[in-house]
Chains A and B, each alone.
Chain A
């Protein structure tokens, strides 16, 4: 065996400095192109999820290119179908005004009942406690949901006949709601203040020097120029048959070859378990919420739609239940009536039952669903989850919030596996 030469202290220092300089340069470059990091990660994750689908199609003697093309066709069709459904279901301008009028009436009525102002001018104990803060919130809600004079004119034209009388009972109810809202606005002193506020034409607002106006077209161009990376990464990663991994492994020194193979295997297992677990968790949560909404009287189609949206947002921890609560309350406020299946649930207390039901579903999710479905795949401390999600949001906005937990899972799995393998191979 040939004798080996111990590296000199100078060589060690030079190597260490080179590694540190390389790491700093890498971090700096990554920070400069951080706008591309999220689209690349999103494209990569989607490719990882769709990889087994393509592999499954290849087993039926479909070539890889054809399988990817078929997958893209299915995605495009689904997106177009969803877009047409949304367009078909989207309310018209008059329908939006009707919704706003109905919602504002219900919000004001429920506020009066909650504060006891419908039975006594001085209100109840809750009112005396929180009326200053609640008044600010209610003023904001009234401004938000109130109609401008032009909108009111359109509203009146669509629901009153030429003689100014409503054309049907539904129109009569809406006009009654509008009258009630106007009284509330006058009572709160908002109507006069709003009509006196002059509207400043946008063109007269001087633009500060050195800034470009963010028109919708510019905004779209900015988003497309960055997010065009995501489908590109998605396509090329799906098309890859191992060349990327082989190219990466060529950079690994011989003594780290087998440890790196083992680490990549552990990462693959961790990410796969996490994604499968989260998908199952979202499905089970959506099922539980759909049942809850249906029991509380929300029509089945709406119950399923709201539950699917809430379930999908559960990829961000703790957000799924919050979204379910908001959507459920919004439906209860906006809907004409609800028909609960349970006798003790009435239109008056359905909101309270909704809150209680969602708390119960969240408890079931934490105690039963998560331990069984996720297991030890991505068991992170709740503090790590909260800090990670907040940090991701600060750094990268909404995509950062969505990708925080998968990123933490991958980094944690890599650190754990690398430590184990380096010890096993006597390198640490």
Chain B
């Protein structure tokens, strides 16, 4: 087992965003575990697809067609992407990446189950979400420089992931800029949509709950 890595400080990353003066969204109370089906984790990692787990692409190009991130790409583009993809196999309990370490690749889950974990200050890990094929995760590592992982990913049972490294996507920008542009646009769209869903899940649901409480006949004034 690898030694416990030092915990990164994602808050530093958030406060380093230019133009972001203040986050008005109240932080949720910390709980010992978060239900994987809760709104927040669904917003971050997307819903577990109902039918994708059953579909196993015979090859990498067919698998890419199932991935939401790459569904708009044509077959030639998927073939080009397959040339730079790395397929990795992990044992049960093996970490795919660890919290606090630099990230240089995004991952697409091809088979098996992956747990997304967050290590607390005390050292214990809480489960944020479980993913199944064809989920994608850690898209930010493929786009930005100096990305530090804010979670860990661990295989539950044997798992196979397909990794797209940031250096390979940079090379793609020079050799096939149109494909790289499509990919990066999609990555940005997915990242932005997740942030929107996270805000909706955290803020708007509380507002709706507050409105419901206010509309409760028992609390209304005559």
Q: Which residues of chain B come closer than 8 Å to A2, judged between CB atoms?
A: 92-93
Q: Which residues of chain B come closer than 8 Å to A241, judged between CB atoms?
A: 83
Smallest Cβ-Cβ distance to A56: which chain B residue: B175
Interchain CB contact under 8 A, B86 and A424: no
A-B contact count (CB 8 A): 67
Q: How far is the CA of A211 from the CA of B97 in the complex (A)?
A: 61
Interchain CB contact under 8 A, B167 and A268: yes
Q: Taking the nearest CB of chain A, how far is it from the CB of B69, in angstroms?
A: 19
Identify which of A254, A258, A426 contacts B103 (C-beta below 8 A). Answer: A258
Q: Indicate whether B1 reaches chain A with its CB closer than 8 angstroms.
A: yes
Q: Is the interface of A mostly helix, strand, loop or mixed?
A: helix
Q: Indicate whether B2 reaches chain A with its CB closer than 8 angstroms.
A: yes
Smallest Cβ-Cβ distance to B177: which chain A residue: A59
Interchain CB contact under 8 A, B165 and A424: no
B72-101: contact bitstring with A at CB < 8 Å (1 yes, 0 no)? 000000000001111010101111111001
Given A58-B175, A249-B86, A265 and B101 contact (CB-CB distance below 8 Å)? no
Number of residues on chain A facing chain B (CB within 8 A): 26
Q: Which residues of chain A come closer than 8 Å to B177, judged between CB atoms?
A: 59
Q: Which residues of chain B come closer than 8 Å to A425, judged between CB atoms?
A: 101-102
Q: How far is the CA of A243 from the CA of B83 in the complex (A)?
A: 7
Q: How far is the CA of A20 from the CA of B197 in the complex (A)?
A: 54
Interchain CB contact under 8 A, A257 and B86: yes
Interchain CB contact under 8 A, B102 and A1: no
A27-63 contacts to B, CB under 8 A, are 52, 55, 58-59
- What bracket does the count of chain B residues touching chain A fall in? 20 to 34
Q: Indicate whether B104 reaches chain A with its CB closer than 8 angstroms.
A: yes
A242-283: contact bitstring with B at CB < 8 Å (1 yes, 0 no)? 110010011000110110011011001000000000000000
Interchain CB contact under 8 A, A258 and B83: no
Q: Taking the nearest CB of chain B, how far is it from the CB of A204, in angstroms?
A: 64
Q: Taking the nearest CB of chain A, how far is it from the CB of B10, in angstroms?
A: 17
Smallest Cβ-Cβ distance to B91: which chain A residue: A254
Q: How far is the CA of A251 from the CA of B86 in the complex (A)?
A: 11
Interchain CB contact under 8 A, A254 and B174: no
Q: Which residues of chain A come closer than 8 Å to B93, judged between CB atoms?
A: 1-2
Q: How far is the CA of A258 from the CA of B98 in the complex (A)?
A: 11
Q: Taking the nearest CB of chain B, how far is it from the CB of A181, in angstroms?
A: 61
Q: Which residues of chain B come closer than 8 Å to A264, judged between CB atoms?
A: 167
A50-92: contact bitstring with B at CB < 8 Å (1 yes, 0 no)? 0010010011000000000000000000000000000000000
Q: Taking the nearest CB of chain A, how far is it from the CB of B127, in angstroms?
A: 12
A1-15 contacts to B, CB under 8 A, are 1-2, 4
Interchain CB contact under 8 A, A424 and B2: no
Q: Taking the nearest CB of chain A, how far is it from the CB of B15, in angstroms?
A: 22
Smallest Cβ-Cβ distance to B97: which chain A residue: A258
Given A55-B174, A243-B83, A265 and B94 contact (CB-CB distance below 8 Å)? no
Q: Which residues of chain B come closer than 8 Å to A243, judged between CB atoms?
A: 83
Q: How far is the CA of A241 from the CA of B165 in the complex (A)?
A: 15
Q: Which residues of chain A come closer than 8 Å to B165, judged between CB atoms?
A: 261, 265
Interchain CB contact under 8 A, A426 and B2: yes
Q: How far is the CA of A262 from the CA of B163 in the complex (A)?
A: 13
Interchain CB contact under 8 A, B175 and A242: no
Interchain CB contact under 8 A, A426 and B104: no
Smallest Cβ-Cβ distance to A5: which chain B residue: B1
Interchain CB contact under 8 A, B104 and A258: yes
Q: Which residues of chain A come closer than 8 Å to B163, judged between CB atoms?
A: 257
Interchain CB contact under 8 A, B167 and A261: yes
Interchain CB contact under 8 A, B105 and A258: yes
Q: Which residues of chain B come closer than 8 Å to A421, judged between CB atoms?
A: 102
Q: Taking the nearest CB of chain A, how far is it from the CB of B99, in angstroms?
A: 11
Q: How far is the CA of A55 from the CA of B176 in the complex (A)?
A: 8
16 contacts between A and B (CB under 8 A): A4-B1, A55-B174, A55-B175, A58-B175, A58-B176, A246-B85, A255-B95, A257-B105, A258-B103, A262-B102, A262-B104, A265-B167, A421-B102, A425-B101, A426-B5, A426-B6
Binding site for A on B (CB under 8 A): 1-3, 5-6, 83-86, 88, 90, 92-98, 101-105, 163, 165-168, 170, 174-177
Given contacts A246-B84, A426-B2, A426-B101, list 15 more A-B pairs with CB under 8 A: A1-B1, A2-B92, A59-B175, A59-B177, A243-B83, A255-B2, A257-B88, A258-B101, A258-B105, A261-B104, A261-B165, A262-B102, A265-B170, A424-B101, A424-B102
